[in-house]
Amino acid sequence: MRVIFIRIIILLFVINTIFLPTRLHASSNNKLTIFYAANLISVMNELGQEFKKLYPDIELVTESSGSVLAVKKVTELNRLCDMIFVADYKLIDKMLVPKYTNWGVAFYKDRIVIGFTEKSRYTNELDSKNWYKILMRPDVKYGYANPNLAPVGYNTLIVWRLADIYYKEKIGNNSIYEALKEKCPEDYVRPDVSELIPTLESMSLDYLFMYQSTAEQHNLKFIQLPEEINLGNEKFEELYQKTNVSIVDQKGAKQIIFGKPIVFAFTILDAAPNKKAAFLFAKLLLSEKGQLIMKRNFQQQIVPAIAINKENMPEELKILCQK
């Protein structure tokens, strides 16, 4: 009996040795990792909850940051993820194609506004005609996102460039762009708008340049800027493209960014550890349920979504996008 017992123990050990790695591999492959633009935090939280209801066996891991930083996690830090969501659809072509992916999906539009609170200075005087003059008052403080790390940052600078064209005014000897950039201290330029919102709410800042959906999600007051400068209307795309700003890219080199309508996009990476789960998440986002979640968060989807390099897209997503 003792010999039989020992043989059974040995047999069980051999079976576990053979099959355990396979089990571990299967378990590790049951995780979906998403890096995404911070402006999508509320939507991602709701989508994540819905996704977990539908697919409880899949572990969902999400990380928010500025869009450029989200991409750098893959391209510079060599971190693995399945999906990347960015606040500028051009980043997919510029930073991820062809090494990491060769397609994308543009799924929603936004615009730049100036957010503030009831405690902000001179709000009773502020409007779409004089906002830059109010911001130049000595006791007014304003902030914006780092243009090297977040599209909302370089889009803010492009709005200032467009303001020069639209208002045709000088502030002292400077252009509107030069004056606004010079007056804002580095302390009020952070990696992303999400890091500045508490500063605005604590009254250390009076005004903050942000996406309209961000202002609405945080119950902030805001003023709309003219469509000729807010980057929210494709009708003025040619005008937007007349402006540009310089940023420092992921390799430390200067890069020129031209004005264009603000359009968010996502892609699934070629090396995604769990492409199947990524496709499921993409389908949820583009479904009617996903559209309702985005609408609740003041982010109106483009329906149907717009394919980027559609010829390279997987068939299961291609049918959900515009021809």
Give pLDDT tens digits for 243-253.
999 998 767 78
Query: pLDDT tens for residues 108-125?
Result: 999 999 999 999 999 999
Compute the mean pLDDT over every residue in the chain, rounded to the nearest whole number: 91
d(CA 305, CA 293): 15
Look up tokens 């990491």; give the residue: 100
Q: Is pLDDT of 14 > 50?
A: no
Burial 92-112 (b: 16+ CB within 10 A, else e): bbbbbbeebbbbbbbbbbbbb
From 21-25, 164-168, 254-258, the region with the lowest mean pLDDT: 21-25
pLDDT at residue 250, rounded to an integer: 64
Q: Is pLDDT of 316 > 70?
A: yes
- Please give the average per-residue pLDDT across 162-169, as a whole number: 98
d(CA 321, CA 120): 42
Backbone angles phi, psi at 297, to 5 degrees: -100, 20
pLDDT at residue 28, rounded to an integer: 47
Burial 17-37 (b: 16+ CB within 10 A, else e): eeeeeeeeeeeeeeebbbbbb
pTM, rounded to two decimals: 0.88
Query: pLDDT tens for residues 269-302?
Result: 999 999 999 999 999 999 999 999 999 999 999 9
pLDDT at residue 25, rounded to an integer: 35
Quick one: fold of 30-109+262-318?
Answer: D-Maltodextrin-Binding Protein; domain 2 (3.40.190)
| Residue scoring higher pLDDT (318 or 1) | 318
- Please give the average per-residue pLDDT across 147-176, as a whole number: 97
- Please give the average per-residue pLDDT across 211-230, as a whole number: 97
Does the domain at 112-230 match CATH 3.40.50.300? Answer given as no
Same fold, 30-109+262-318 and 112-230: yes
Query: pLDDT tens for residues 42-92?
Result: 999 999 999 999 999 999 999 999 999 999 999 999 999 999 999 999 999
pLDDT at residue 5, rounded to an integer: 44
pLDDT at residue 323, rounded to an integer: 63
Q: CA angle, 107 as apex, 288 and 195 as ends, to 5°?
A: 110
Domain chopping of the chain, boundaries: 30-109+262-318, 112-230
